[in-house]
Amino acid sequence: MAMDLTDFITGLPKVELHVHHVGSATPQTVARLAERYAGTTSVPADPALLAGYFTFTDFAHFIQVYLSVVDLIRDAEDVATLTYDIGAGLAAQSVRYAELTLTPYSSIVRGIPAEEYCEAVEDARLRAARDHSIQLRWCFDIPGEPTMTGADVTLDVALKQRPEGLVSFGLGGPEEGIARARYTAHFAAARAAGLHSVPHAGESTGPQTVWDAVRHLGAERIGHGIAAARDPKLMEHLREHDIALEVCPTSNACTRSVASLAEHPLPQLVAAGVPVTINSDDPPMFSTTLNREYQVAADLLDLDEHGVAELARQAVRFSFLDDPGKAAVLAEIDNYLKVFSNRAAAATSRIAGEPR
């Protein structure tokens, strides 16, 4: 078990690369929306009841519950409020930059025009930067589903609206029965337009899904990807091609993608040299935070503060932040570690010098 690094992690400058928009709605936000739309939703309007509601039997149940919360975001004002609140919450955890996964189709199909949706998230992005000194960027996410309508709409919105904060193109939702290769043309078009490829793969399915995401979708990072631990050749490929996994440990345990945190394959992936970043996925739904995920990772990998700082650096390096922005956050991390280490050394020296 690693040392308790709570204080160190709390102030450590970080970036977040895998966190979902609606999945980041706090219990208070969800309850407020459920009350606003009472009578038309199964989501409880009492924050105290949400912990039970957010207890998942398996991945399919998680998707079902997630979509019930998506259904609470019904107008552009809801979108803007949710987005701004996420930015503020991340900034309070010392997050300097976050790539937020948005699924515009889920809102468009519920009646929010694409232009209004994009204007709402951009307004929130600018306000969050002004008020909380956090940079938010967007990954537009295809909702994996039997029809291709969501994929077509998502690509259309990405290319025609092209909000300033948009940096990447993703694929989420169920993996079982939703072949990555179906979306080859969509990802090729997104990449041709300069967007990065960051599909989910290998979370609730096996290594083949990750291979498919790499080969067919040109994945630069993989959302989750933990099944790669079962395939030595795949781990070697990810290492050699510098394709990072966006690992979200508590999420994987809560959705039953792994049996327990103790059995999470993060240590095997790191031991094999696979690049990993630590992320929170849908934090309120899993009763976690990015800060807690860093402590979970420290426990699994038996890290001290230097090891945790290196995890934070790795996330910066694999982010789509521009080079000056990366350099600034990396310098902040180095300075923070230096100050923290000096304070710890001074405290140890003082204690050693005290009379017994």
CA-to-CA distance for 99 and 14, rounded, in angstroms?
Answer: 12
> How is residue 54 annotated by DSSP?
T
CA-to-CA distance for 174 and 294, rounded, in angstroms?
Answer: 26
Per CATH, the homologous superfamily of domain 6-319 is Metal-dependent hydrolases (3.20.20.140)
Per-residue pLDDT tens over the stretch 164-205: 999 999 999 999 999 999 999 999 999 999 999 999 999 999
Beta bridge partners of 303: none
Summarize the chain as % helix, strand, coil (round to 5). Answer: 55, 15, 30
> What pLDDT does residue 344 have?
77
The structure tokens 């005290």 sit at 354
> What pLDDT does residue 1 have?
45
> What pLDDT does residue 2 have?
54
| Domain-wise residue ranges, the chain | 6-319
Catalytic residue (choose from 122, 203, 293, 305): 203
> What pLDDT does residue 352 have?
60
> Are the CB atoms for 278 and 297 separated by under 8 Å?
yes
Which amino acid would we find at residue 67?
L
Per-residue pLDDT tens over the stretch 35-67: 999 999 999 999 888 888 988 888 889 889 888
- Collect the ranges in the chain with pLDDT lower than 50: 1
Q: Is the entire prediction scored with pTM above 0.85?
A: yes
> What pLDDT does residue 3 have?
64
> What pLDDT does residue 353 have?
58
Sequence-separated (6 or more) residues with CB below 8 Å from residue 43: 30, 33, 34, 50, 53, 68, 69, 72
Token output for 10: 């709390």
Nearest to 33 by CA among 109, 90, 102, 110: 110
Per-residue pLDDT tens over the stretch 135-169: 999 999 999 999 999 999 999 999 999 999 999 99
Token output for 321: 């932040």
Beta carbons within 10 angstroms of residue 133's beta carbon: 9
> What pLDDT does residue 349 have?
64
Token output for 251: 């999420």
For the question of residue 203 being annotated catalytic, the response is yes
CA-to-CA distance for 200 and 170, rounded, in angstroms?
Answer: 7
The structure tokens 């009379």 sit at 355
Which amino acid would we find at residue 320?
F
Q: What is the mean pLDDT of the chain?
A: 94
> Are the CB atoms for 22 and 82 separated by under 8 Å?
yes
> What pLDDT does residue 28 have?
85
> What pLDDT does residue 50 have?
87
